[in-house]
Amino acid sequence: MKKSIKSWLLTTTTIATLLTIPSLSTANSGVEKLTQNPANWATALGNYSGTRYSRLDQINTQNVKNLQPAWFFSTGVLRGHEGGPLVVNGILYIHTPFPNIVYALDQKTQSVIWEYTPTMDADVTIPVMCCDSINRGLAYGDGKIFLQQSDTVLTALDAKTGQRVWSVQNGDPKLGMTNTNAPLVVKDRVLTGIAGGEFGVRGFLAAYDIRTGELRWKAYSMGSDSDMLINPDKTTTWKDGKLQKVGANSSLKSWEGDQWKIGGGTTWGWYSYDPDLNLVYYGSGNPSPWNPVQRPGDNKWSNSLWARDADTGEVKWVYQMTPHDEWDYDGISEAVLVDQPIKGKMHKTIVHIDKNGFAYTLDRVTGELLVAEKFDKTVNWASHIDMYTGRPQGEAKYSPEQKGDDENTADICPAIVGAKSQQPVSYSPQTGYFYISGNHLCMDYEPFKVSYTAGQPYVGATMMLSPAQGDVLTGKPDGSYNLGQFTAWDATTGKIVWSNKERFSIWSGSVATAGGLVFYGTLEGYLKAVDAKTGKELYRFKTPSGIIGNVNTWEYDGKQYVGVLSGIGGWAGVGLSSNFCPPGYIGSATFTKLGGTLTVFSLPEVPDAK
């Protein structure tokens, strides 16, 4: 089951070939009002809080067994379909991986209202896209659809006509910069990040004017205080049992020489927003290169959670989950904003289920660390998070740096795909649980010295992935491992409530509903619905291809619908389109094949009683 991931990176790369003045504008995007109507699905995560929860209950635990496909739409693109549909005022908007086609669909006729295909240079862009040429979704605001193209161009389209209103270059693919993230519209800004950490790209979050595309602010993940928009006398972090000011040059002091200039910390995940606090929350990715020997220090502020003022970009607080990351444990997962009691006291919390296998609950106002526990019992690279220092307590046995270059460290859990990667969780206020689409893989890890060349892979490590040992799917005569698990998590206590094993990693984001359900997709292509309280499977349907997209739900003409993009690809399935199977997913080709399709589900019509 083990295979070198260095060869996978090289194969996919070869085949594919990885302070400004605040705006005075008073424009209002209208997004918050749209998200308050459950008939819409107006942001990638459903709402500003990122809960992926719907108040719709027409489909529930009693009748979900009757769910059936209502209609299908083929996207015409074969690569991995991450993200999911937006639904705004009855119009459904979907996107594809490269070449990033956008479709506006009429739900009554299931026909195309308009489509937009950007002009991009595949020979320049695709070779520097890590882990397939995916895209995670669209944003809506101020009557516009915002597309963050793979080639880093941010484009605003008229939502009614599909005509391009403006576009702006957000990065340079020739330097290894690409984009895969879904933007987020906040007030009169559209927020977007950057990808390319495996090419030495220095991460940032940027805010553009939704009407003109003018840059309003840009904040880096590492470097000088001015680059990061950090005020060293105001910005705080959790340290030694309390919140403390980060102090001057907090990032520069944690890097050797100028390594920070090519230090990673990219921002290809998800963004949330608290309108009352006017703070934007997100995570930054792994430091570059993967070889930890070449970058001594904590490498701040890679692998960190951020709270920034939406108007100015200034950092309120920052917390680093994995200082001096040795395992590629990006911190880009979504930040979910909920109010909940911790040890008898109500907090405005932020919940972050990290790639490193720990789930964190912090006070989103102050950044105080409240809970940090393992959500996968096989995690072994660290024994626990020291709640006083806020730092993980690493296990020397699983530290590649301690062995040095060209020495293998075996059986590290989780693997570089993380105990959870980008696939967003959902949260149900009915149960108080978070629902985690997880991976269940470990790895061997061998660092090697690597030199930086702009636009070329800057990795410096070889990995071999394997199933987490000791967890075999029960009742399977072939002894199949469970490479994935779907877990209900209590973020107030740091405890697993229940966990369902899956044959393959679950790369689909889930959605929780007021009908007592949680929906998610599997790599075999099944849309599944489980009871939110117990995890009992209540429904499954095999879609045309493996699902790595996020399940969304909305209402049209008085009826609740559930929709998901199927189309195997991304990290888990890129091998199916390049004749190479990433370690840990061998065998998935026997269950599914390529193909991009939107499948929309609903309950059958009930005949009128006569």
Amino acid symbol at 136: R
| Bridge-based pairing state of the strands 272-274 and 279-283 | antiparallel
User: How many Å apart are CA 257 and CA 294, to the nearest integer?
Assistant: 11
User: How many Å apart are CA 128 and CA 120, to the nearest integer?
Assistant: 13
User: How many Å apart are CA 424 and CA 440, to the nearest integer?
Assistant: 16
Please tell me which residue in 151, 188, 225, 328 is annotated as part of the active site. 328
User: How many Å apart are CA 221 and CA 541, to the nearest integer?
Assistant: 42
Amino acid symbol at 69: P
User: How many Å apart are CA 574 and CA 96, to the nearest integer?
Assistant: 15
User: How many Å apart are CA 109 and CA 115, to the nearest integer?
Assistant: 16
Closest CA to 444 of 418, 466, 422: 466
Q: Which residues contact 407 (CB under 8 A, 6 or more apart)?
A: 400, 446, 447
For residues 31 and 145, the answer to whether their CB atoms sit within 8 Å is no
Closest CA to 269 of 173, 156, 180: 180
Q: Three-class SS string for 19-51?
A: CCCCCCCCCCCCHHHHHCCCCCECCCCCCCCCC
- Looking at the DSSP bridge assignments, the partners of residue 185 are 190
Number of alpha carbons in the 13 Å side-chain half-sphere of residue 426: 29
Q: Which residues contact 603 (CB under 8 A, 6 or more apart)?
A: 58, 59, 63, 66, 67, 68, 559, 560
Positions of E strands within 63-110: 68-74, 86-88, 91-95, 102-106
Residue 209 annotated among the catalytic residues of the structure? no
User: How many Å apart are CA 132 and CA 578, to the nearest integer?
Assistant: 10
CA-to-CA dists, residue 422 to 278, 285, 501, 520, 567, angstroms: 24, 11, 19, 14, 17
CA-to-CA dists, residue 213 to 250, 311, 569, angstroms: 31, 15, 31
Q: What three-state secondary structure class fits 232?
A: coil
Edge-first strand listing for the sheet containing 597-602:
68-74, 597-602, 559-566, 552-556
Token code pair at residue 414: 């989780």
Active site (catalytic) residues: 328
